[in-house]
Structure 1
């Protein structure tokens, strides 16, 4: 045999060996590659649900600003958007900033906007503010502590997420 003859040798690459198992089914990807794919898939899933939440929150805020009274058509549609917002939060298991959750009533899903009077604010004690919904009567107490940062707010400050600003708007 001379050197000019070419003998084809089987090539064993990582992709071809891991693409199919011995039984003909695709083999499972393991290790760092699998973790990376899972992370990418979960990140895309969260981004889609965050965009949907952002759209629902902006729509509810806009409709609440358009409404003139507590129980007119725009306010009812805004409450429907908030209900859908809550349903997406439950099904997708997405965490939001606490300030966003405080913008609507927990009982009747009424959106609190500064333009239309939908809640009554009282100071129960020196540093405790009570907000009462005018539609359903649900009241909630908030502590007035300017230096307090909750665990979730610390998490949001530490995490650098470019899509976080979209949720806040």
Structure 2
């Protein structure tokens, strides 16, 4: 499998698996099949095909990057208005507000617990190490402060002694 060097800028835009699939597609498809020698050459059809593959690949990546709506944007009123719209013509609307609220609350509590467990498992030892290090720094800082205070007192005493020696 060797595309012509003229297509390297296009090939670099695709993952290796898609490059391999593109090669197979060009050399093994039933209609307009190219020999390996032809596929190694320069052909506007090959360039068009690779550009098409890049476009398709980028669209897929773009779709995968789209994130779902955040939970804060979903409110109970939105859910209810959607349900009302869907069932407006078919059945009378039932008041399930409390039931839906309870289910959503349970699900959020469950997700919150899972997140806490995950964070504790993932970052627990890291946080313990940081806490231990912080406590060591605080203790060292306190020792330095008390040493500074002791030195200040001794300096003050020495200054008094010098002053009294000067006056004599």
So what's the TM-score if we normalise by structure 2?
Answer: 0.22
Q: Computing the radius of gyration over CA atoms, which structure comes out larger, 1 or 2?
A: 2
Between Structure 1 and Structure 2, the one with more strand by share is: 1
Q: Which has the higher helix share?
A: 2
